[in-house]
Chains A and B, each alone.
Chain A
Amino acid sequence: MTEVTPEIVAAHGLSDEEYARVREILGRAPNITELGIFSVMWSEHCSYKSSKTWLKRLPTEAPWVIRGPGENAGVVDIGDGQVAVFKMESHNHPSFIEPYQGAATGVGGILRDVFTMGARPVASLNALRFGGPDHPRTRHLLAGVVGGIGDYGNCVGVPTVGGECTFHPGYNGNILVNAMTVGVAPKDRIFYSAAAGVGNAVVYVGSKTGRDGIHGATMASAEFDADSEAKRPTVQVGDPFTEKLLIEACLELMATDAIVAIQDMGAAGLTCSSVEMAAKGGVGIELDLDAVPLRESAMTPYEIMLSESQERMLMVLRRGGEAAAREVFEKWELDFAVIGAITDTGRMVLRANGAPVADVPIAALVEQAPVYERPWTAPPPPAELDAADVPAPESLGACLKRLLASPDLCCKRWVWEQYDHMVMADTVQRPGGDAAVVRVHGTNKGLALTTDCTPRYCAADPETGGAQAVAEAWRNLTAAGARPLAVTDCLNFGNPEKPRVMGQFVGCVEGLAAACRALDFPVVSGNVSFYNETEGRAIPPTPAIGAVGLIADLDRMATPALAAAGETLVLIGETRGHLGASLYAREIAGREAGAPPTVDLEAERRNGDFVRRLIEAGRLRVCHDVSDGGLLVAVAEMALAGGVGATLTPPVDGPPAHAWLFGEDQARYLIAAPVDAASAIVAEARAAGVPAEAVGRTGGDALTVSGDHPISLGELRAAHEGWLPTYMADG
């Protein structure tokens, strides 16, 4: 067996203090297998040692929340005896090294988190951040990631219905691949991971264990350097067909009473799953590594425990349930092996070739994991950018076309046409709108789903940016007519050991917490991805928010598509013309400067609740969130979606026209309704203290700002849809 030297300890990412604590817990030096177990369990990825104290600030409860953070995924009540189960997770480091397999296995992992809990996955989303379009690797990474997500999700047969895909040089050295899955389960058949029942069998199911992915969790807990390519062997390889079999086999077994506890083998593989299951149940566990199904010969206990081979699950079965369970898994042609038992020792004991190879006290391993109060510095407040200092464009039309064709705002059809977004035949609103809407199978209700984050706001002001990410997700659900239920967060940052990065994290979490609290929008699951940093350069702070809302009656829903000519466009919410940190400032004026728009959570709530009530009452069917690019971009998106033009009339006493048209003030919605209905809505809004004004009319086949030249929808569509396919074809 390999000797544990100081060099080997250092190579496992344990600090001197951490290693001393390992020795103290064991009362001796660890052997190599035990060192491996401690190193992955105490890695940032698995232990949340830098983020734990701050994550406690996030609200996690509401009357409709059935299970918050701490399980494989969060669970919320959606009525009629059903629950939605969902989570978003990062797969950033592997996807940068090997984009296709990295992204594919990210999808596989998040699917398992959801069906582990007894839910059938019904939709996936993703939030993708790539480097600048000019960076030589961007095309390759984008093509690989999209291909990997598509091939895995398509083969498994779960629709990929939405997400985000943006570009910035800040991600040149570390792309972000955040994957989210939502499932539906009966409320009385949710499965958890706490092991119980001394003597119960511990069962391994799924694929065999190989040498792939060893130390993936440790890789995700360190910065990249120039040699990051050499980490390719730590990237796992996906097998979506086996995943599909695993979904069906698990759900079939879950219809019986055989399972006591179940957890997928994700990061840190068999180690993390067995330790967490035993720790949550307050029991011990004994595993016979000779019984683990192996794909390769001569694997050591260390390799078996740290492998991150995909499509594997660990279960604790009720006594006597083994034969029936084996029958189910053998029918689906999956490996099924009893590899151990639950004990009352509180220890994890591993045996190989009949001899013990590791013996670790579980409570100490988990509870004495290091927790750090990392020093942090508050980022300097950004200087306000006065709209008067941002020049007006020479041509509104040319400016709008440039914005619609910019990498962040352009149509992402090239991406989502590679995803089967309709399989299962319940996709009611497809990708490209505010929220995707998926019908709950066999009912007339729907789940509205979105992912959101505006990294340029977070970079300028982390707290405002964090709040804005939550507010925008809430608004996107509201714009579809959904009642926002809860969020999952995927917090992507640089190296937390740097006070500046830690300050960004702290600020963003404070912003998230404030917004989640004000909007009754608790966090029910999520993950933290630190060390998104290469050669000392950290990514922009990117707290991605995935959100789920409920549409009780799909006959009362809104979409952004303009539906008819001759309707009034009404802008809900206050417009000051805020251009700081806007896309206009960046793309047109060439300035990445200024404070982000203020997030007034009371106004968000008031304006959003007003809009949602109109949709729920069946009085409003056309609604769009006003966000990136401001009002003119919002109108253009609505016009393109519906194939109906519009004319906008700037107010005479408002901010400068370009600030009114391109400012990114928050808490705003653009709606369209027949003239009389719109007048009534404006009057009611004002009576309720909600700013509302008629800003234009629908009709024609062009977009016109009063006093300016019309731009045909054809021209706008060509600009909007042309950029991405042209960019990818140029590679």
Chain B
Amino acid sequence: MIWHAESELPALDLIVLPGGFAYGDYLRAGAMAAHSPVMREVVARARAGTPVLAICNGFQIAAEAGLLPGALVPNAGLKFVCRDVHLRVESSASVFTGRYQRGQVIRLPIAHHEGNYHADGDRLKALLDNDQVAFRYAMPCGEVCDESNPNGSIGNIAGVFNETKTVLGMMPHPERLADARLGGSDGSAMFEALAAALA
């Protein structure tokens, strides 16, 4: 754990921007945290190729900091939503998703108020052309449709990569279902993949 006011980081194999409510998110989720001193160095490391896994509030911060394309706006239902969702894996070509199969459906929880992913036309097209979508909200059978979209995200996008797939931002929480005791372990493969890739 690194304090928000730090301006230097030690040598790191992986940076995780975890979930939470940085600065209370009273303004716009992630807007203030993106300007905290430590984020300058996080951005520099990410640009230099250090993998960054940004989950939930971490994704919001990473998007605000310009590490990832697009923005996260309030859920279409205007309420906080905490529930398990199904995700279709869109790309396994990354250090994060290498142990999932493209097209595989996994179950992870979401817990957010501002997880409605948005990107404008050109940016969205670039994202698709460049295979930067990591996960989409789907039905258990894998169908991606309005019914499986919990927050109004464009194209049901639940997670995106940067252009080099070294930064992953995702609203669902892989760390919350990585233990059968808690009702599922579909998140484990992400941490196993990271451990193997970074060892």
CB of B176 closer than 8 Å to a CB of A: yes
Contact assessment for B82 and A428 in the assembled complex, using a CB-CB cutoff below 8 Å? no
- What 1/0 mask marks residues of chain B from 26 to 51 whose CB sits below 8 Å from any chain A CB? 10000000000000000000000000
Choose one: B80, B109, B182; the contact of A154 (CB below 8 Å): B80
Contact assessment for B82 and A241 in the assembled complex, using a CB-CB cutoff below 8 Å? no
Contact assessment for B24 and A421 in the assembled complex, using a CB-CB cutoff below 8 Å? no
- What 1/0 mask marks residues of chain A from 428 to 453 whose CB sits below 8 Å from any chain B CB? 10100000000100000000000000
Pick from A107-115, A260-268, A412-420, A686-694 the stretch touching chain B.
A412-420
CB of A520 closer than 8 Å to a CB of B: no
Contacts of A427 in B (CB 8 A): 182
Choose one: A157, A417, A418; the contact of B20 (CB below 8 Å): A157
Alpha-carbon distance between A423 and B25 when the two chains are bound, in angstroms: 17
- Nearest Cβ on chain B to A84's Cβ, whole angstroms: 19
Choose one: A147, A239, A240, A421; the contact of B82 (CB below 8 Å): A421
- Nearest Cβ on chain A to B154's Cβ, whole angstroms: 22
Contacts of A589 in B (CB 8 A): none
Contact assessment for B83 and A417 in the assembled complex, using a CB-CB cutoff below 8 Å? yes
CB of B123 closer than 8 Å to a CB of A: no
Cβ-closest chain A residue relative to B78: A147
CB of A203 closer than 8 Å to a CB of B: no
Contact assessment for B111 and A241 in the assembled complex, using a CB-CB cutoff below 8 Å? no
8 A Cβ contacts from A396-431 to B: 416-423, 425-428, 430
CB of B125 closer than 8 Å to a CB of A: no
- What 1/0 mask marks residues of chain B from 1 to 43 whose CB sits below 8 Å from any chain A CB? 0000000000000000001110111100000000000000000
Alpha-carbon distance between A422 and B176 when the two chains are bound, in angstroms: 7
Contacts of A157 in B (CB 8 A): 20-21
CB of B175 closer than 8 Å to a CB of A: yes
8 A Cβ contacts from B33-74 to A: none
- Nearest Cβ on chain A to B112's Cβ, whole angstroms: 9
Contact assessment for A422 and B20 in the assembled complex, using a CB-CB cutoff below 8 Å? no
Contact assessment for B21 and A239 in the assembled complex, using a CB-CB cutoff below 8 Å? no
Known contacts A417-B83, A420-B82; decide if A240 and B179 are in contact (CB<8 Å): no
Contact assessment for B79 and A418 in the assembled complex, using a CB-CB cutoff below 8 Å? yes
Contacts of A151 in B (CB 8 A): 80, 113
Known contacts A417-B83, A421-B82; decide if A154 and B111 are in contact (CB<8 Å): yes
Contact assessment for B111 and A422 in the assembled complex, using a CB-CB cutoff below 8 Å? yes
Q: Looking at chain A, what size class is its interface with the partner chain? A: 20 to 34
CB of B189 closer than 8 Å to a CB of A: no
Alpha-carbon distance between A428 and B181 when the two chains are bound, in angstroms: 6
Cβ-closest chain B residue relative to A147: B79
Contact assessment for B82 and A418 in the assembled complex, using a CB-CB cutoff below 8 Å? yes
Alpha-carbon distance between A419 and B81 when the two chains are bound, in angstroms: 7
Alpha-carbon distance between A571 and B147 when the two chains are bound, in angstroms: 39
Alpha-carbon distance between A621 and B57 when the two chains are bound, in angstroms: 37
Alpha-carbon distance between A422 and B182 when the two chains are bound, in angstroms: 9
Contacts of A242 in B (CB 8 A): 24
Contacts of A416 in B (CB 8 A): 82
- What 1/0 mask marks residues of chain A from 232 to 273 whose CB sits below 8 Å from any chain B CB? 000000011110100000000000000000000000000000
Choose one: A147, A155, A422, A423; the contact of B24 (CB below 8 Å): A155
Contact assessment for A241 and B79 in the assembled complex, using a CB-CB cutoff below 8 Å? no
8 A Cβ contacts from B168-189 to A: 173, 175-176, 179, 181-183
Choose one: A241, A422, A426; the contact of B109 (CB below 8 Å): A422
Cβ-closest chain A residue relative to B111: A420
Contacts of B109 in A (CB 8 A): 422
Contact assessment for A241 and B24 in the assembled complex, using a CB-CB cutoff below 8 Å? yes
Contacts of A422 in B (CB 8 A): 82, 109, 111, 173, 176, 182
CB of A554 closer than 8 Å to a CB of B: yes
- What 1/0 mask marks residues of chain A from 152 to 164 whose CB sits below 8 Å from any chain B CB? 0011010000000
Contact assessment for B81 and A155 in the assembled complex, using a CB-CB cutoff below 8 Å? no
8 A Cβ contacts from A300-349 to B: none
- Nearest Cβ on chain A to B74's Cβ, whole angstroms: 13
Cβ-closest chain A residue relative to B175: A425
Alpha-carbon distance between A239 and B176 when the two chains are bound, in angstroms: 26
Contacts of A240 in B (CB 8 A): 21, 24
Contacts of A522 in B (CB 8 A): none
Alpha-carbon distance between A427 and B181 when the two chains are bound, in angstroms: 9
CB of A630 closer than 8 Å to a CB of B: no
Choose one: B21, B24, B81, B176; the contact of A425 (CB below 8 Å): B176
Choose one: A423, A426, A439, A554; the contact of B111 (CB below 8 Å): A423
- What 1/0 mask marks residues of chain A from 138 to 159 whose CB sits below 8 Å from any chain B CB? 0000000001001100110100
- Nearest Cβ on chain A to B18's Cβ, whole angstroms: 11
Alpha-carbon distance between A416 and B181 when the two chains are bound, in angstroms: 21
Known contacts A154-B111, A422-B109, A425-B182; decide if A417 and B82 are in contact (CB<8 Å): yes
- Nearest Cβ on chain A to B136's Cβ, whole angstroms: 21
Alpha-carbon distance between A416 and B84 when the two chains are bound, in angstroms: 13
Alpha-carbon distance between A418 and B78 when the two chains are bound, in angstroms: 11
Alpha-carbon distance between A416 and B182 when the two chains are bound, in angstroms: 17
Cβ-closest chain B residue relative to A419: B82
8 A Cβ contacts from B142-190 to A: 173, 175-176, 179, 181-183
Contacts of A239 in B (CB 8 A): 24
Contact assessment for A418 and B81 in the assembled complex, using a CB-CB cutoff below 8 Å? yes
Contact assessment for A241 and B81 in the assembled complex, using a CB-CB cutoff below 8 Å? no
Contact assessment for A154 and B83 in the assembled complex, using a CB-CB cutoff below 8 Å? no
Contacts of B176 in A (CB 8 A): 422, 425
- Nearest Cβ on chain A to B6's Cβ, whole angstroms: 13
Contacts of B111 in A (CB 8 A): 154, 420, 422-423
Cβ-closest chain A residue relative to B3: A331
Contacts of A244 in B (CB 8 A): 21, 24
Alpha-carbon distance between A435 and B20 when the two chains are bound, in angstroms: 26
Contact assessment for B80 and A420 in the assembled complex, using a CB-CB cutoff below 8 Å? yes
Cβ-closest chain A residue relative to B26: A241
Most buried by B among A154, A426, A554: A154
Choose one: A418, A420, A428; the contact of B182 (CB below 8 Å): A428
Contacts of A439 in B (CB 8 A): 181
Contact assessment for A155 and B21 in the assembled complex, using a CB-CB cutoff below 8 Å? yes
Contacts of B82 in A (CB 8 A): 154, 416-422
Cβ-closest chain B residue relative to A150: B80
Alpha-carbon distance between A418 and B80 when the two chains are bound, in angstroms: 5
Alpha-carbon distance between A420 and B82 when the two chains are bound, in angstroms: 6
Contacts of B19 in A (CB 8 A): 423
Contacts of B83 in A (CB 8 A): 417
Contact assessment for B21 and A154 in the assembled complex, using a CB-CB cutoff below 8 Å? yes
- Nearest Cβ on chain A to B172's Cβ, whole angstroms: 11
Contacts of B25 in A (CB 8 A): 155
Known contacts A422-B109, A425-B179; decide if A241 and B80 are in contact (CB<8 Å): no
- Nearest Cβ on chain A to B140's Cβ, whole angstroms: 12
Cβ-closest chain A residue relative to B23: A241
Cβ-closest chain B residue relative to A241: B24
- Nearest Cβ on chain A to B82's Cβ, whole angstroms: 5
Most buried by B among A157, A430, A554: A430
- Nearest Cβ on chain A to B161's Cβ, whole angstroms: 25
Contacts of B113 in A (CB 8 A): 151, 154
Alpha-carbon distance between A419 and B80 when the two chains are bound, in angstroms: 7
- What 1/0 mask marks residues of chain B from 94 to 122 whose CB sits below 8 Å from any chain A CB? 00000000000000010101000000000
Cβ-closest chain A residue relative to B179: A425
List the interface of chain B (C-beta within 8 A of A).
Answer: 19-21, 23-26, 79-83, 109, 111, 113, 173, 175-176, 179, 181-183
| Sample of 23 A–B contacts (CB below 8 Å) | A151-B80, A155-B24, A157-B20, A241-B21, A241-B24, A241-B26, A416-B82, A417-B80, A417-B81, A418-B80, A418-B81, A419-B80, A420-B82, A420-B111, A421-B82, A422-B82, A422-B173, A425-B179, A425-B182, A427-B182, A428-B183, A430-B183, A554-B181
- Not counting A150-B80, A425-B179, a sample of 6 additional A-B residue pairs whose C-beta atoms are within 8 angstroms of each other reads A416-B82, A419-B82, A422-B109, A423-B111, A428-B181, A428-B183
List the interface of chain A (C-beta within 8 A of B).
Answer: 147, 150-151, 154-155, 157, 239-242, 244, 416-423, 425-428, 430, 439, 554
A-B interface, 8 closest residue pairs, ranked by CB to CB distance from nearest:
A241-B24, A155-B21, A420-B111, A420-B82, A418-B80, A425-B176, A422-B176, A150-B80
